[in-house]
Structure 1
């Protein structure tokens, strides 16, 4: 067997950069607020070469998903006059179009948020289009979040890219020709051989966590009907899924405004530095600083990150470890 790890060969071309090309189901929707597609949906992208998410040259967002109705591809673009035009392909097309308002933040309530710091208020003023997406899907956010545990983002993005291309399926519709894929079904994740996890740079602990989650995927997907706190508790019943991973998941699956990421290597220091000049802040300090935003702490952290005020680096980045060579 060859030692190379590569996705199946597939011709790649650019995604359409103009209106829907036909052949898919179409929905036109006019939200009562200005939509910033990149700002709202960008949190779903796992790196610049994510095979499940692309942005076309005209700003249209293409994404794939494994819905309860089956795999699907969704293309969302601004239609002019404040409306949004979406086209979808595959068995999950109608499901994706029905979920479009929630995906773009219709269930979010940004007016419930009151800035308590000048930087947060300024960031909110500069980014009025920020709304929290709600995908209504758990596994598509849980698996890449597990891959991101305790490694650099570059390593996690590489693993996600390689595994989705290797074990997923080509995206329905024109996105397949652009090299887009739908994430693997739960059974496929459960059957990934140990050596393929290692070739993708995924250690045994993270691989085992994903396999355990895949085996109870149906129960985990049911968590979308729960309140975020209860959903996080259900996810954390899976050994290897802790508060960091569950929060990163429900931020996207539920659009949870208070699901603050705890245990992160960088976020406490960024929040501490931006709001109090404390470059050594830990989780406890971050929680204290964000206490005035109770119920909206994740949204407040998003505004802090968008503010761009980060502490100067004092030590090298976390070193990369190629476990395939261990």
Structure 2
């Protein structure tokens, strides 16, 4: 990173020059919870905007890929930390060198044009945790709609010249203070709302886990009632940069992996057996399969009904 200080109104800027080529959009895509996520905006001109909380306060990041590197500008009290976090955000800690895509033609073909995809590490545990909890055992569209509604209602405006609809997701205190009626209007019952509140109450300890060995981070997450292995994997693949995370217990994932790699659906145990040759890189394989095979896969079972606000 090559920092270049500017005045406060213009923000702080830097240029990140990764050692290897990085596909910024593909790398960051898992962090965005649907096209309506108020914390993200993938602009038509190719720029990417993100609103986030840092240890120093809220920040907005603006990333633009140019010939000489990835140009980043940040605004807000957390601007300096936001700039410092860009390499991790774009997968600087992700090492694909031991990954062998040739073990299966589907993986090989998917990887051929996506060698610049990295596993991101946002470093922000709570911002990965809350939407993961909202996605527990519900239709993805409903979870994304709930996230959008709650962040728009309880988040804060993104600092700097960000699009006016962008919001910084709530802090731990903000999530604890969401009234019960707002959870219910978003379609979130007490089980998931309670899990978010319990996690928010120990958010500092969970965040500390991001700087510890990943097994300790997982252990801390599992101490929160309502958070199990599926949710931990969803958090670890986004906030902790875990290239081996597998979301066991997902309603669709095992079937998709089974169909992509064998032509037949399978269960969690079967999925783990199929992914074992890529141990250490199983999340990478899952992402490649999701990107290239989801639209081609047959529909497994009846479509779940959409939820309605719990009012």
Quickly name the TM-score band, shorter chain normalised: over 0.9
Report the CA distance between 1:314 and its aligned residue. 4.9
Aligned residue for 2:277? Answer: 292
- Size of the aligned set, in residue pairs, is 302
Give the TM-score, by structure 2 length. 0.94
Q: Is residue 2:24 matched to residue 1:40?
A: no
Q: What per-residue deviation string (whole Å, max 9, x for no partner) do you get for residues 227-252 of structure 1?
A: 22221121010000011111100111
- Provide the rounded CA distance (Å) in 2 between the counterparts of 1:147 and 1:286: 24
Report the CA distance between 1:313 and its aligned residue. 1.4
Instruction: Look up the SS of the partner of 1:262 in the other structure.
Output: coil
Pairing of 1:242-253 with structure 2 (within 5 A): 242-253=228-239
Give the TM-score, by structure 1 length. 0.90
Equivalent pair of 2:133/2:231 in contact (CA under 8 Å): yes
- Provide the rounded CA distance (Å) in 2 between the counterparts of 1:218 and 1:183: 16
Q: What per-residue deviation string (whole Å, max 9, x for no partner) do you get for residues 276-296 of structure 1?
A: 1112x1100000101111121
Q: Is residue 2:98 matched to residue 1:112?
A: yes
Equivalent pair of 1:228/1:259 in contact (CA under 8 Å): no
Q: Is residue 2:212 matched to residue 1:193?
A: no
- Provide the rounded CA distance (Å) in 1 between the counterparts of 2:60 and 2:309: 33
Equivalent pair of 1:120/1:307 in contact (CA under 8 Å): no
Aligned residue for 1:13? Answer: none
Q: Is residue 2:186 matched to residue 1:206?
A: no
Q: Residue 80 of structure 2 is aligned with which of 83, 94, 116? A: 94
CA RMSD of aligned residues (A): 1.4
Report the CA distance between 1:58 and its aligned residue. 1.4
Equivalent pair of 1:169/1:183 in contact (CA under 8 Å): yes
- Specify every segment of 5 or more residues in structure 1 that has no aligned partner in the other structure, as ranges: 1-20
Q: Is residue 2:98 matched to residue 1:142?
A: no
Structure 1 segments of 4+ aligned residues over 6 angstroms from their partners: none
Instruction: Look up the SS of the partner of 2:310 in the other structure.
Output: helix
Aligned residue for 1:11? Answer: none
Instruction: Look up the SS of the partner of 1:295 in the other structure.
Output: coil
Aligned residue for 2:3? Answer: none
